[in-house]
Amino acid sequence: MITHPSSAEPARLPKPLPDETLYSLFARIHWLNDYGNARECCAMLLGDGERLRVADSRFDPVHFDSVTRGFYGGVRLILTKLTPTNFFQRLGTHPSVEIPHRLHPDDAVALAVSNGLATLSNGRAHLWRWCPSCLKRDQDTYGVAYWHRKHQLPGVVICCEHQTSLLETTLPYQARQQEFIMPGRLPGRARIKLVCSAGAPPTAMALAQFAEQILLDDAVEGSPESVQGALVDGLAEAGLVSRAGRIRKKAFVAEWKNLYADISELTEFAPPLNERCLPSLVEALNQHGWLLPATTTLMLANWLFGSWQLFKEHCRWRKVFLLTGVAEERQWSKVAANTPEDARKSHRDTCIEFLKSYPGATRKDFWATHPKSCRWLHTHDKEWLQRQLPTAHRSGVMQLELF
């Protein structure tokens, strides 16, 4: 059955494909219902009848849920399953944030929606990415190549599944407002580029895995305040915050650049690693209420916590503090060590004391009783921690809860 754009509801609604973006789903609704004009299709589905654009159409999730008769599970599920909104929220940031010093948004979802279909769906208005191996697999399996959410995330230049560089294209304004564009159906003049010409550097791989874990975890919602609090704690525990509560600029820059040296040449990571931008990053971290770009936040969280699980736990912990009013002020002076070496000694001492008291304890037990020290050692002193508390060693002696 074929419907016309002037009718209120599309007759056929495809099921979302695994990890498919909202934009991609729109394109398939358009094709499945044989709408001739993509802009009119958008006007009908999105409720933005004024502008007649495709990529930059303003998206009204309530309208879309209504015309699709609730088929996609309601507004919340549409946003959480078909867009990277959760990813940005959990990092306490927003797709439109490209420079530090912006005030944080009151409502990340409302701001995301105001950005238009392409940005809401694919994270950016015109620069989209895909994995050639995923594309082939999708064409063979589903008969269509489509946009994956995980490939569009800021800071992701590698496909974790195939451990290969993503491809990217920058779509010209006119082209993206006229038609739906999919990875297997790019306009003839679209330029395609390898995002990561250096293969798959280890830190790029780690960032891609970290980002994917954030996207796929349904368990927790972050807030700008809890994320900032966690990052500040992480910096302090790494000995990078002075007793006066300021970032130790020289040490911060040296460690930051050293950790990410293997991806410093990639355009994706140029802003946070660029010499000219580093002073403003340090200054942003020194201020209260900053909102960093998602790529920078991801890099900080990966550096300071090493895994989404540990970062999430700390954000949750911070949230509890915020809710109970304990952490109104930064706690730097209480957790800051003088130098990274002081921090190392302090956390090692904590671990040694713990093992004296509980000789049969496991890594999990240490985490449960001393999460800060466990996290610090896991991130900054992994080999030493592995010697003291091998991850494979299990005794099940203790059952302690963090909260």
Q: DSSP states of 151-174 as a string?
A: HHSTT--EETTTTEEPEEEE--HH
40 binds Zn ion (CB under 5 A): no
348 binds Zn ion (CB under 5 A): no
The answer to whether the beta carbons of residues 241 and 286 sit under 8 Å apart is no
159 binds Zn ion (CB under 5 A): yes
Residues 147 and 360: their CA atoms lie apart, in Å, by 49
Q: DSSP states of 110-154 as a string?
A: HHHHHT-HHHHHHSSSSEEEE-HHHHHHHHHHHSS---BHHHHST
Q: Which is nearer to Zn ion, 36 or 143 (CB)?
A: 143
Q: Which is nearer to Zn ion, 115 or 165 (CB)?
A: 165
Residues 121 and 167: their CA atoms lie apart, in Å, by 18
How many residues bind to Zn ion according to rule CB under 5 A? 6
Q: Which is nearer to Zn ion, 162 or 316 (CB)?
A: 162
* Six token digits for residue 153: 């995330």
Q: Which is nearer to Zn ion, 74 or 199 (CB)?
A: 199
CB of 302 to Zn ion, least distance (A): 21
Stretch that binds Zn ion, among 40-48, 105-113, 133-141, 230-238 (CB under 5 A): 133-141
Q: Which is nearer to Zn ion, 60 or 161 (CB)?
A: 161
Stretch that binds Zn ion, among 129-137, 301-309, 332-340, 369-377 (CB under 5 A): 129-137
* Six token digits for residue 64: 């879309």
Q: DSSP states of 215-269 as a string?
A: HH--S----HHHHHHHHHHHHHHTT-B-TTS-B-HHHHHHHHHHHTGGGTTSGGG
Q: Which is nearer to Zn ion, 43 or 131 (CB)?
A: 131
Residues 179 and 228: their CA atoms lie apart, in Å, by 40
Residues 308 and 97: their CA atoms lie apart, in Å, by 21
133 binds Zn ion (CB under 5 A): yes
- Binding residue for Zn ion, selected from 131, 144, 207, 273, defined by CB under 5 A: 131
Q: For 92, how many CA atoms within 13 A lie in the half-sphere containing its CB? A: 29
CB of 331 to Zn ion, least distance (A): 42
CB of 65 to Zn ion, least distance (A): 31
Q: What amino acid occupies position 85?
A: T
Q: Which of 310, 380, 370, 318 has its CA nearest to residue 343?
A: 380
Q: Which is nearer to Zn ion, 159 or 214 (CB)?
A: 159
- Binding residue for Zn ion, selected from 44, 67, 134, 205, defined by CB under 5 A: 134
CB of 400 to Zn ion, least distance (A): 40
162 binds Zn ion (CB under 5 A): yes
CB of 134 to Zn ion, least distance (A): 4
CB of 162 to Zn ion, least distance (A): 4
Stretch that binds Zn ion, among 76-84, 131-139, 171-179, 193-201 (CB under 5 A): 131-139
> What φ, ψ does residue 329 adopt, rounded to 5°?
-105, 155
Residues 315 and 362: their CA atoms lie apart, in Å, by 24
Q: Which of 263, 293, 270 has its CA nearest to residue 91?
A: 293
CB of 19 to Zn ion, least distance (A): 11
Q: What amino acid occupies position 287?
A: Q
Stretch that binds Zn ion, among 126-134, 240-248, 307-315, 395-403 (CB under 5 A): 126-134
CB of 129 to Zn ion, least distance (A): 11
- Binding residue for Zn ion, selected from 9, 161, 221, 283, defined by CB under 5 A: 161
The answer to whether the beta carbons of residues 140 and 170 sit under 8 Å apart is no
CB of 133 to Zn ion, least distance (A): 4
58 binds Zn ion (CB under 5 A): no
The answer to whether the beta carbons of residues 394 and 387 sit under 8 Å apart is no
CB of 36 to Zn ion, least distance (A): 33
Between residue 290 and residue 319, which ones bind Zn ion under the rule CB under 5 A?
none
Q: Which is nearer to Zn ion, 154 or 183 (CB)?
A: 183
Kindly list the residues in this chain that would bind Zn ion in the complex (CB under 5 A).
Answer: 131, 133-134, 159, 161-162
